[in-house]
A = this chain, B = another copy of it.
Amino acid sequence: MAKIKPSIPQGTRDFGPQVMRKRNYIMQTIRETFQVFGFQPLETPAMEQLDTLTGKYGDEGDQLMFKILNNGETLNKAATPIAASIQENTPLTRSVRLFSEKALRYDLTIPFARFVAMNQNELAMPFKRYQMQPVWRADKPQRGRYREFYQCDADVVGSNSLLNEIELLLIYDTVFEKLGLHGHELRVNNRKILSGLAEIAGRPDLLTDITVAIDKLDKIGIAKVKEELQQRGLGETEINVIENFLHIDGSNSEKLAQLSALLKNSPTGMKGIEEISFVLNAGLAKFSSTPILDVTLARGLNYYTGMIIEVKAPASVAIGSIGGGGRYDDLTGLFGLPGISGVGISFGVDRIYDVLEQLVLFPEAAQQSTKVLFLHLGEASIQTAFPLMMQLRRKGIPAELFHEASKMDKQLKYADKRSIPYIVILGDSELAENKVSIKNLNTREQQTVTLEDFELFAFE
């Protein structure tokens, strides 16, 4: 076989041990929180039927989906229609179905909806599930954008109760508190408030244009937002109404009061205010980071119908959104199960990783692998070392024996390269005295103890 200079596909990543340990720490924190909140694990296949995914993410999504090439005869059978397509000079990408019947999942929400529709009779409703799996998108690779990345989602389907919104906000709060994060912001809004705004501005037809424009307020400022609204076809009076809306400011209660005055003639808007008021004022639990009402928050996603959530990283790290979600109606309707409302959140693991890295928040435990290296000092040494090592392992302490009787130097170098904090030495003198030496490589302290005391030694 020819030798290959190895590489990996553009936009994908290997996660070596150091990175994996830190990623596992983040994911384990999220997973444990999902679990104590009563969410249940689900995994769906990497591949879905092309029909399940197509048309769910817009034209761009369809383009960016990784499709699986048909195998064997299924591909060969397509030769005639493929030939026809080539002769007619239509792009092959238009006849993708000739080549492919399956695609890699693009997110976790559509597979979840598909699962609920397929298993509706077995599921206890409301069904609260979490799912932490990779998704694939053929995006142009760029800094911070990957073609394979994990999504960590929690969703509730089958309940209209706003208690779910509060629970999901508390999940964010709990996870980020556990991760030691401070200064992040939980921002919330309600789609119905935005609909109300479009109504009172007299342009319900331009709801999407309005939300896309005002969502940019933070980045481009009010003058540019007004410019954009004009370009998108809004008149002066209409823009004035929106400007008043954008001037809403103060504490959550102050904002709610201003909103109520502004949207009093829109039943939809008032409904949105009622919903968000309940979520913000229920007083059921303490937040370490109180949710903030942000009336400009839209997240550009048309499928939200109620609450919209976004988590912003602490301003000091300039990383932006590290999570988001909201309520959507009738997601499973696409799969023949109408009238089921859902609400969910998602954690951006890659960005959370960058935040924790920049703020030096990863704990020691997320950075350590093996704790104790037993040096290999010859056959007699390892006969004593091995049972001691197994003793530590049974206690859950990761321990290794160096694989061969190399020079001390080489063995120490391995401990150093692996950041192993303790070495255990069973040299001739230790063996003669039935003792064992333990050296802490960080403090350089070394002590010699009896085999009985070794059992009690605290490797910290």
Residues on A facing B (Cβ under 8 Å): 1, 3-9, 12-17, 20-21, 24, 32, 35-38, 40-49, 51-52, 55-56, 63-64, 66-69, 71-72, 75-76, 78-79, 82-83, 86-87, 91-93, 96, 99-102, 104, 114-115, 117-119, 122, 124, 126, 128-129, 134, 136, 138, 147-148, 156, 159, 161, 163-164, 170, 174, 283-285, 333-336, 369-370, 382-383, 386-387, 390, 392-393, 396-401, 403-404, 414, 417-418
Contacts and interface: CB of A to CB of B under 8 A. Distances in A.
A401 B163 contact: yes
A399 B38 contact: yes
Given A124-B418, A336-B4, A418-B124, A40 B66 contact: no
A93 B68 contact: no
Contacts of A63: 71-72
B17 A161 contact: no
7 contacts: A8-B44, A8-B45, A14-B118, A17-B40, A47-B66, A76-B92, A79-B92
B43 A14 contact: yes
Nearest to A47: B9
B8 A49 contact: yes
A38 B400 contact: yes
Contact of A5 (B164, B336, B418): B336
Nearest to A55: B1
A433 to B, nearest CB: 22
Contacts of A148: 45-47
Contacts of A15: 41-44
